[in-house]
């Protein structure tokens, strides 16, 4: 097919189950490799390759969107339009679609960096991160599964809250502080009781009139 510059073309690919190796354990799914080749105006042959999982199973209805989790790193507190380019922030993002499998995982604006390339159709968790200056405080994370179910989540560093680790640290610190206060109070009470016993070891003596 002829494709004009910046154009796209839809190619139908048919897969046959008898081509899948079902003799080895865990043969479902198998990995299919798709390669597209083209020639540059100078006649050089170039290509791009993409891998996809091929599942051998009965088709199931899936209206469930992928799941997205994220954590903040960095802080833009105190930033202003005059100095926002000095500080940076980062979002560590994880996405998963455990039903039909993940098709795409991207950010808007562009800039999401994946920890590793994933195979289309994977049902495992895929991680990546987005990093930018405090001049740009928002990013949309978009994930789509094989059947077209799409989820978009906006990450806004200006709405950053405490993460799980920070909350745990605060709770633990509060518990330790409370225990310290209890120990100090019991220590004071014990000292006062001991001093009181020391003062009362002799009986009262009165001088007769």
d(CA 37, CA 47): 4
Tokens of 23: 């003799």
% of the chain with per-residue pLDDT over 70: 79
Backbone angles phi, psi at 47, to 5 degrees: -150, 160
- What are the extents of the domains in the chain? 67-159
% of the chain with per-residue pLDDT over 90: 31
pTM of the model: 0.63
Q: What is the pLDDT of residues 96-121, one digit of tens each?
A: 998 889 999 999 999 999 998 899 98
The CATH class of 67-159 is: mainly beta
- Residue 127's pLDDT band, with cuts at 50, 70 and 90, is very high
d(CA 171, CA 167): 6
Q: How far apart are the first and last CA of the chain?
A: 129
């Amino acid at each position: 097919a002829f494709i004009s510059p910046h154009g796209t073309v839809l190619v139908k690919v048919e897969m046959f189950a008898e081509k899948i190796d079902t003799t080895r354990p865990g043969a479902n799914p198998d990995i299919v490799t798709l390669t597209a080749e083209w020639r540059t105006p100078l006649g050089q042959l170039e290509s791009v390759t993409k891998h996809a999982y091929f599942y051998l199973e009965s088709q199931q209805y899936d209206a469930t969107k992928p799941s997205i989790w994220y954590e903040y790193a960095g802080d833009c507190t105190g930033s202003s339009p005059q100095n926002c380019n000095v500080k940076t922030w980062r979002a560590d993002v994880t996405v998963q679609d455990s039903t039909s499998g993940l098709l795409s995982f991207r950010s808007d604006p562009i800039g999401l960096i994946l920890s590793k390339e994933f195979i289309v159709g994977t049902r495992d968790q895929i991680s990546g991160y987005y990093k930018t200056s405090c001049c740009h405080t928002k990013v949309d994370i978009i994930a789509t599964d094989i059947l077209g179910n799409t989820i978009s989540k906006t990450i806004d560093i200006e709405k950053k809250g405490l993460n799980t680790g920070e909350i745990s640290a605060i709770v633990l610190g509060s518990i330790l502080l409370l225990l310290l206060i209890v120990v100090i109070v019991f220590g004071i009470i014990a000292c006062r009781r001991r001093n009181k016993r020391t003062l009362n070891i002799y009986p009262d003596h009165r001088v007769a009139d």
